């Protein structure tokens, strides 16, 4: 392998903003934010919107959207469309 062409691979803490869960792993991503982990060491902190802790595929919990109100609004808006 060539030297000095690969990114630095180091320990990083990822925090899921949806579930407020954090986990320590290794990654090439960098961050200016830091956090003190359970082992007493300080690691870079990367905040993510969604991870396996909050994603519906992994949790089995589906978010319900209010589609009934949208359908009623659509029907109300176009109820006379096409009539003469």
Higher pLDDT, 9 or 74: 9
How far apart are the C-alpha atoms of 48 and 53, rounded to whole Å?
A: 11
Give me the mean pLDDT over the 25-34 stretch.
94
SS3 of 44-79: the string is: EEEEECCCCCCCHHHHCCCCCCCHHHHHHHHHHHCC
How far apart are the C-alpha atoms of 15 and 37, rounded to whole Å?
A: 11
Domains of the chain: which residue ranges?
10-77
Q: Residue 10 — pLDDT band, cuts 50, 70, 90?
A: very high
pTM of the model: 0.63
How far apart are the C-alpha atoms of 38 and 21, rounded to whole Å?
A: 13
Tokens of 16: 């899921």
**pLDDT score of 44:** 95
């Amino acid at each position: 392998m060539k030297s000095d062409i690969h990114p630095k691979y180091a320990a990083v803490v990822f925090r899921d903003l949806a579930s407020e869960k954090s986990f320590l792993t290794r990654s090439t991503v960098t961050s200016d934010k830091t956090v003190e982990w359970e082992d007493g060491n300080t690691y870079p902190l990367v905040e993510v919107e969604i991870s396996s802790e909050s994603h519906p595929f992994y949790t089995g919990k589906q978010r319900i959207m209010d589609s009934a109100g949208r359908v009623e609004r659509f029907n109300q808006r176009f109820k006379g469309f096409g009539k003469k």
